[in-house]
């Protein structure tokens, strides 16, 4: 995992994004945010489990499926199984120690 800080994110609502092997943050101060970092580390694990490329394919397909179904980009994003797992477990800072392989499947709708 390599953490980068990119100023162009300051013009967005995005605090962080994971593009394996990088966690890209809007600001250096966010590295101290344990909940955000845990959320992004969960994505690193998900990406590794799906050999990175299949994660992105699944992510985009599920997003567009949900967007056309729900007609709302934020709702579509929040309901992607990868995001549902990461948001529901981001406060459990030891989650990755006990997380089961392909656990994101439990979060599909």
Read off the pLDDT of residues 10-19 as tens digits, 9 standing for 90 and up.
Answer: 889 999 999 9
Task: Look at residue 86 and tell me whether its pLDDT is greater than 90.
Answer: yes
- In the predicted model, what is the mean pLDDT of the chain? 97
In this prediction, residues 75-82 reach a mean pLDDT of: 98
C-alpha span between 109 and 32 (Å, rounded): 32
Taking the C-alpha atoms of 104, 66, 92 and 20 in order, what is their torsion angle to the nearest 10 degrees? 70
Q: Which of 9-13, 20-24, 31-35, 72-76 has the lowest mean pLDDT?
A: 9-13
Total of domains in the chain = 1
pLDDT score for 42: 98
**Domain limits for position 81:** 2-107
């Amino acid at each position: 995992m390599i953490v980068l800080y990119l100023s162009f994110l300051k013009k967005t609502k995005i605090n962080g994004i994971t593009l394996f092997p990088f966690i890209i943050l809007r600001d250096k101060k966010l590295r101290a945010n344990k909940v955000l970092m845990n959320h992004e580390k969960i994505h690193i694990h998900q990406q590794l489990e799906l050999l990175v490329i299949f994660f992105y394919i699944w992510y985009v397909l599920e997003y567009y499926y949900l967007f056309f179904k729900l007609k709302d980009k934020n709702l579509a994003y929040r309901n992607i199984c990868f995001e549902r797992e990461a948001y529901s477990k981001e406060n459990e800072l030891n989650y990755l120690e006990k997380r089961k392989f392909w656990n994101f499947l439990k979060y599909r709708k």
